[in-house]
Amino acid sequence: MIILDTGLDWRGIVRVAGGEELSLSAAAWQRLAAARDIVEAILDRGIRAYGVNTGVGALSDTVVDRESQRRFARNLLMSHACGVGAPLPSEEVRAIIAVQVNNFAHGRSGVRPATVEAMLGLLSGGVVPEVPGRGSVGYLTHMAHIGLVLIGEGFARIGDERMTGAGALARIGQAPVVLEAKEGLSMVNGSPCATGLAALALARAERVLDWADALAALSLEALGGQTSAFDEGVLAVRPSEGLQQVGRSLRMRLFGSGLIARALGARTQDALSLRAIPHVHGAARDVLAVTAAVVDRELAAVTDNPMVSGTAEDPRVHSEAHAVAPALGQALDSLGVAVAQVAAMAERRLDRLINPLVSGLPPFLALDPGSGSGFMIAQYTALGLVCENRRLAAPASLDGGVTSGLQEDFLAHATAASTKCLAIIDNAAMILGIEYLAGCDAHDALGDVAARAAGTEPVYAHLRAAIARYGDDRALSGEMTRAHDLIVAAPPPGHAPRQEGHDE
């Protein structure tokens, strides 16, 4: 159980997305109630407030009378629920709901506590609203589809069963919500979609980077790499926390390797895809840290418009642009580029493992070169994904667009940045999965010439427990998918032993 008090960080969002229950502290419920009192006071006094008693977007100067506000709130969901494409997975929908609950709990939106309680009911009841993944230029559509289920419309899933929103609510013993003034706008507003997906992108990127370090060590060992470039003193002259972290990981994984000792001095220096592992992987870790800080700031921020402040006796409403989230879009674009570069380097290591011109191993790691092609075409697939990542890495935050009759004439595209970042990360996991297969087969091809390091042995054994050495005797696509699934399912196994006198 996660209790939201002052706010969640990105790891808290990931935990809720993964199935943990979310509840609010007494202080958070009090903030919600106080903010709703302010909205009621605004309505009672006839204070003009965007989206509370006016239309939205280019209709912001159109007054909505008190009697029409429930209909207005409902209509907002109906018109804004215009996403297209395949529905988002359960984890992603839960992340978006958790972020919006977090946003409301700041006490600046004025959504009723009962409405937030109904959102928490979806999470605790395992109700996953059907949310089309495409069509948003920033926000609005995803939360509108979630809101449909809250009011008993739309569609949802409980487990593997698809049903109407009304049916899903009935299944968990929850009545449809009748939205009141401001709640329709608050439901679709803010940056919950981009922020929820960003939290998941951070978690998945963190795992991919951990695997990238482990698999780089496995490949380096099979290729007889020279590890002096990773010495602590050598890396210390280039200040970067990420670079130092990767250097420690490589030294720990490869400590005591007979294969590395056997290759000592064989080359003056390695190719950059081996020698620059700490620099490329480390740069990605530095970008990950910056992106995490941006996401946590987004979670600490009020992203609804308008927001309320003051008291019921002195109510205030503020029109602002906190939902735009340019920093989030820029950070996610950067994270996508960083992970794409790590994946591109993995494909270069893969090529060195299978290329007989540089590997010293059987061509393409085939058991019978000629009658078998081994990993020849798997490298094509990895390269194709690298190229796809290059296209995906174009910055979404620089996309243009004018909407709502010139009223919304700038868009930061943070949601698009988050969705393409997730796609890049998944492609990276597949590229690493192919390197994993080839790396283990390369070790098999080496035979017993020398022992693996204690830090790479569990990585090798983890794959071999699930997938045997490839012999052109079965379709390689299924093997690649299974290796990808091992990477996304759990962190890399084993912790390399620490070398005495190194790396506290």
Does the structure show a pLDDT above 50 at 500?
A: no
pLDDT band at 498 (very low <50, low <70, confident <90, very high): very low
Low-confidence winner among 69-83, 105-119, 442-456 (lowest mean pLDDT): 69-83
Burial of 237 (0-12, 13-18, 19+ CB in 10 A): exposed
Domain C-terminal end among 133, 159, 189: 189
318 Cβ neighbours under 8 A, 6+ residues apart: 306, 307, 308, 309
Domain identity same for 321 and 448: yes
CATH number, domain with residue 223: 1.20.200.10
Does residue 496 form part of some domain? no
pLDDT given for residue 503 in this prediction: 35
pLDDT, position 496: 45
> Percent of the chain having pLDDT more than 70?
95
Q: Does residue 210 form part of some domain?
A: yes
State pLDDT tens for residues 7-28. Answer: 999 999 999 999 999 999 999 9
Do residues 145 and 221 share a domain? no
Based on the domain organization, do 349 and 377 belong to the same domain? Answer: yes
Residue 207 CA to residue 198 CA, distance in Å, equals: 14
Residues 139, 285 within the same domain: no
pLDDT in tens, 423-441: 999 999 999 999 999 999 9
pLDDT at 321: 85
| 501 domain-assigned | no
Residue 460 contacts residue 452 (beta carbons within 8 Å) = yes
The residue with tokens 């990773």 is: 230
pLDDT of residue 493: 96
Examine the domain organization and report whether 257 and 385 are in the same domain: yes
Instruction: Supply the CATH number for residue 122's domain.
Output: 1.10.275.10
What would the mean pLDDT of 122-137 be, rounded to a whole number?
92
pLDDT band at 404 (very low <50, low <70, confident <90, very high): low
Element (H, E) at 289: helix 277-300
Apex 304 CA angle, 299 and 309, nearest 5: 100
Q: Judge whether 504 lies within some domain.
A: no
Length of the chain, in residues: 504
- For tokens 């919600």, the residue is 32
Q: For residue 1, is pLDDT > 60? A: yes
pLDDT value at 408 more than 80: no
Mean pLDDT, residues 395-419 taken together: 76
**pLDDT for 136:** 74
Same domain, 26 and 174: yes
Q: What is the mean pLDDT of residues 56-80?
A: 81
Domain boundary among 126, 154, 189: 189
Q: Are residues 448 and 411 in the same domain?
A: yes
| Residue 247 maps to a domain | yes
pLDDT band at 58 (very low <50, low <70, confident <90, very high): low
Please tell me whether residues 295 and 330 are part of one structural domain.
yes
Q: What is the pLDDT of residue 501?
A: 37
Q: What average pLDDT score do residues 484-489 get?
A: 98
Same domain, 21 and 121: yes
424 in a structural domain: yes
User: What pLDDT is recorded for position 103?
Assistant: 97
Asked if residue 145 belongs to a domain, the reply is: yes
The tokens describing 185, both together, are: 């706008």
Confidence of residue 504 (pLDDT cuts 50, 70, 90): very low
Which distant-in-sequence residues (6+ apart) come within 8 Å of 170 by Cβ? none
Q: What is the pLDDT of residue 134?
A: 87
Both structure tokens of 374: 């081994």
* Same domain membership, residue 218 and residue 279: yes
Q: Which of 91, 287, 85 is nearest to 199 (CA)?
A: 91
pLDDT band with cut points at 50, 70 and 90 for residue 407: low
- Give the residue carrying structure tokens 């977007």: 57
Q: What is the mean pLDDT of residues 385-406?
A: 84
Same structural domain, 279 and 156: no
- What mean pLDDT value characterizes the chain? 93
Residues 123 and 267 in one domain: no
Spell 119-157 as b/e; 16+ CB within 10 A means b. Answer: bbbbbebbbbbbbbbeebbbbbbbbbbbbbbbbbbbbbb
Query: What is the average pLDDT across 306-334?
Result: 93
Element of type H or E holding 429: helix 414-446
Residue 323: inside a domain: yes
Residue 138 has pLDDT above 90, yes or no: no
**Token pair of 90, please?**
């359960």
* Rounded Cα gap, residues 204 and 294, in angstroms: 17
pLDDT score, position 54: 82
Which pLDDT band, with edges at 50, 70 and 90, does 403 fall under? low
pLDDT at 62 over 90: no
Q: Give the domain-ending residue among 189, 217, 247.
A: 189
Residue 291 has pLDDT above 60, yes or no: yes
Question: Domain range holding 262?
Answer: 198-489
Structural domain total, the chain: 2
Interior/surface letters 442-451, b for 16+ CB within 10 angstroms, e for the rest:
bbbbbeeeee
